[in-house]
A and B are shown apart, each in its own frame.
Chain A
Amino acid sequence: MDFSVLIDFLPLILKGLYYTILLLVLSLVFGMILAIPIGLVQVTGPRPLAWLATAFCTVIRGTPLLIQLYILYYGLGSLFPQMPWIRESFMWPVLREGFFYAVLAFTLSFAGYEGAIMKGAFASVPKGELEAARAFGMSPFTVLRRIWLPRAIRIVLPTLGGETILQLKATPIAALVTVVELYGAAGQIYRSTLDFFPPMIMVAVIYILLTFIITRLFNMVERQVPQRR
């Protein structure tokens, strides 16, 4: 095992790290934006929307992420080129890339898992607080913006760190659709040096470090938020 060969590949490794983090951040942000309405409609209704949101969460949580990614990448990816208006659109360079499908699949996946959690969080905000807000004459949207959502987010905050780590651990799957993130970079190094362990052990260590950093980061955020029980 000779780890010194890795130095030649430093730019590739850094590029991989960049794409891993970009994939993680994009899917977390977009996923969370989707998860809020998905969680909310399951508590407030209307019925058909609530049913749809529950079905979405069940399907996402009941199937492997790998299959979801393949449906989007190979399935959608094989349909798009047949539609001329998509081929000619300005989005085509993006729609050709594996990275786009990886972000889409990871976003939907995170929305499914987090949507189920947000549902629980919205449901567990004390009724009295919402009634008090309404009694002050707040409109439903203001209640959501000022009271319901901030309280729900505080409730999920302790679980968010763990969910982020799970999401990080899912990112190597993107390498299977040609995204050169950390694991994809390790694969490329392996193919050009034919030495398996140095690149693989190295990215494993990077993932452990990233996990550690995320844990620290969320602990810091959690300490910023005053909790009164």
Chain B
Amino acid sequence: MSGWELLASGWGVNLLVGAISTLQISALAYLLGLVIGLFGALGKLTGGKITRRLLDGYTTIVRSVPELLLIVILYYTGTQALNNLLVSIGYDPIRINGFIAAVAVLGVVQGAYSTEVLRGAIQAIPIGQIEAAKAYGMPPLLLFRRITLPAMLPYAIPGLSNLWLNATKDSALISVVGYLELTKITQQAAGGTKWYFMFYTVAGALYLLISLVSLKAFGMLDNYVRRGQPKVR
């Protein structure tokens, strides 16, 4: 069979399913990371000494340990801790859903990077803007929604764009713990048919497509959040 026939015979569809799975994992992990990051950033900026120490420890350790090692450690720790907990309260150990584990593990990694991006963005807001809002008597939540959030976005979007691209690329590492996303399915396809070069190239092209479309989308988003600001350069 030729390469095209192999792709048409069902492997092509499998790869596309894998790409969708990769997108789902990345998107949910990215969102989880953003939620962790938002609380992390607010904790670092407004929290007490202990909160700040803990968050510093989290971001420093996660950002200096290789992602692959971190994913393997978190996956192993998380599934084992959950099963120990289940056994200790009298349930049988379960097989943990690979999808949820993948999202949780990647999300915790993303959270550390998001924390730093969002902290930097919030700190870049001219302090006078926040003081003015306080002087108007805005309660904290309203201040966050009306001032902090829209004012920080232009500073945050470039970093967040990078993080999303990293999330899609790091999701390939999830294949080592066995979840069927694009890379794992490609491994099966390539190993099963011996068409290594073609299948990995097709997978690479799908990842590249995801990256290019994302870059375009984030470029548009960047223009939107910068509306009304003078053009850079």
Q: How large is the interface on B (under 10, 10 to 19, 20 to 34, 35 or more residues)?
A: 20 to 34
The residue that A63 contacts in the complex, of B64, B65, B169, with Cβ under 8 A, is B169
The residue that B66 contacts in the complex, of A62, A67, A70, A172, with Cβ under 8 A, is A172
A7-15, A73-81, A137-145 - interface stretch: A73-81
Decide: A207 and B197 in contact? CB cutoff 8 A. Answer: no
The residue that A62 contacts in the complex, of B61, B72, B183, B208, with Cβ under 8 A, is B208
Decide: B66 and A168 in contact? CB cutoff 8 A. Answer: yes
Q: Which residues of A contact B203 (CB under 8 A)?
A: 67
By the criterion of a CB under 8 Å from any partner CB, how many residues of chain A are at the interface? 38
Q: Which residues of A contact B70 (CB under 8 A)?
A: 204
CA distance A79 to B204 in the complex (A): 18
CA distance A86 to B204 in the complex (A): 26
Q: Does A169 contact B (CB under 8 A)?
A: yes
Residue in A closest to B64 when the chains form the complex, CB atoms? A211
Q: Does A64 contact B (CB under 8 A)?
A: yes
A196 CB → nearest B CB, Å: 6
Q: Does B187 contact A (CB under 8 A)?
A: yes
Residue in A closest to B67 when the chains form the complex, CB atoms? A169
Contacts between the two chains (Cβ within 8 Å), count: 99
Known: A64-B172, A67-B172, A171-B66. A75 touches B208 (CB 8 A): no
Can you add 13 more A-B contacts, CB < 8 Å, to A62-B207, A62-B211? Answer: A63-B169, A65-B169, A66-B173, A66-B183, A71-B201, A76-B197, A169-B64, A200-B69, A204-B69, A204-B70, A207-B65, A208-B65, A211-B64
Q: Does B87 contact A (CB under 8 A)?
A: no
Decide: B172 and A66 in contact? CB cutoff 8 A. Answer: yes
User: Which A residues fall within an 8 A CB radius of B?
Assistant: 58-59, 61-68, 70-71, 74-79, 165, 168-173, 175-176, 183, 186, 196, 200-201, 203-204, 207-208, 211-212
Decide: B66 and A183 in contact? CB cutoff 8 A. Answer: yes
Q: Does B147 contact A (CB under 8 A)?
A: no
Decide: B66 and A59 in contact? CB cutoff 8 A. Answer: no
Known: A62-B208, A168-B66. A70 touches B187 (CB 8 A): yes
Q: Which residues of B contact A64 (CB under 8 A)?
A: 168-170, 172-173, 183, 207
CA distance A84 to B172 in the complex (A): 34
CA distance A176 to B187 in the complex (A): 12
CA distance A66 to B187 in the complex (A): 11
Q: Which residues of B contact A165 (CB under 8 A)?
A: 64
CA distance A171 to B66 in the complex (A): 8
CA distance A65 to B207 in the complex (A): 11
Q: Which residues of B contact A76 (CB under 8 A)?
A: 197
The residue that A204 contacts in the complex, of B65, B183, B201, with Cβ under 8 A, is B65
Chain B 185-217 interface residues, beta-carbon cutoff 8 Å to A: 186-187, 190, 194, 196-197, 200-201, 203-204, 207-208, 211-212
Decide: A207 and B200 in contact? CB cutoff 8 A. Answer: no
Residue in B closest to A71 when the chains form the complex, CB atoms? B200
Q: Does B21 contact A (CB under 8 A)?
A: no
Q: Which residues of A contact B201 (CB under 8 A)?
A: 71, 75
CA distance A207 to B65 in the complex (A): 6
6 interchain residue pairs of minimum CB distance: A62-B211, A75-B197, A64-B172, A74-B196, A169-B66, A211-B64
Q: Does B175 contact A (CB under 8 A)?
A: yes
CA distance A64 to B73 in the complex (A): 20
Residue in A closest to B80 when the chains form the complex, CB atoms? A196
Q: Does B76 contact A (CB under 8 A)?
A: yes
Residue in B closest to A203 when the chains form the complex, CB atoms? B69
Proximity bits, B40-73, A CB within 8 Å = 1, else 0: 0000000000000000000001001111111011
Q: Does B176 contact A (CB under 8 A)?
A: yes
Q: Which residues of B contact A67 (CB under 8 A)?
A: 172, 183, 186, 200, 203-204, 207
A-B contact pairs, 30 of them (CB 8 A): A58-B208, A59-B208, A62-B165, A62-B212, A63-B169, A63-B204, A64-B172, A64-B207, A65-B169, A66-B173, A67-B203, A67-B207, A68-B204, A70-B187, A70-B190, A71-B204, A74-B196, A75-B197, A75-B201, A79-B197, A169-B64, A169-B67, A172-B66, A173-B173, A175-B68, A200-B73, A204-B69, A204-B70, A207-B69, A208-B61
CA distance A48 to B204 in the complex (A): 23
B217 CB → nearest A CB, Å: 14
CA distance A74 to B175 in the complex (A): 16
